[in-house]
Structure 1
Amino acid sequence: MHNYFSSDFKLGILGGGQLGKMMLYDTRKYDIKTYVLDPSTEAPCKIACDVFEQGDLMDFDTVVNFGRKVDVLTFEIELVNVDALEKLESEGKKVYPSAATLRKIQDKGVQKQFYAEKEIPTADFNVFTSKTDLTKAIAKNEWQYPFVWKSCTGGYDGKGVSVIRKEEDLTGLPEASCIAEKMIPFKNELAVIVSRNVSGEVKTYPVVEMEFHPEANQVEYVICPARIENHVAEKARAIATKVSESFEHVGLLAVEMFQTEEDEILVNEVAPRPHNSGHYSIEASFTNQFEQHLRAILDLPLGETESKVGGVMVNLVGDENHEGQVHYQNIEKIMQMPGVTPHIYGKKQTRPFRKMGHVTIVNKDLSEARKIAEEVKKEIKVISKS
Structure 2
Amino acid sequence: MTSSSASEPTPTAPRPSSRIPPPLRPLTARERHEQHRVASSLELLFDLCFVVAVAQAGVGLVHAVAGGHAAQGILNYAMAFFAIWWAWVNFSWFASAYDNDDVLYRIVTLVQIAGVLVLAAGVSRAFEHRDFFLVWFGYVIMRLAMATQWLRAARWARGAERRMALRYMAGVLLCQVGWAGLVLLPVADRPWVFLVMVPLELFVPVYAEKDHATSWHPHHIAERYGLFTIIVLGETIAAATVAVKSAASEHDALGELLPIAAGGLLIVFSAWWIYFAVPIHGHLRSSRESFLWGYGHYLILASAAAIGAGLEVAVEQAVGTTHLSALEAPAAVTLPTALFLITMWVLHARHFKVGIAQQLVLPSAALLVICCTFLGGWAVLAAGIVSALAVAAGIALNTRRAATVSGAQAAGGTA
| Larger helix percent | 2
State the TM-score, normalized to the length of structure 1. 0.29
| Larger strand percent | 1
State the TM-score, normalized to the length of structure 2. 0.27
Which of 1 and 2 has greater Rg? 2
Name which structure has the greater RCO, CA cutoff 8 Å, separation 6+.
2
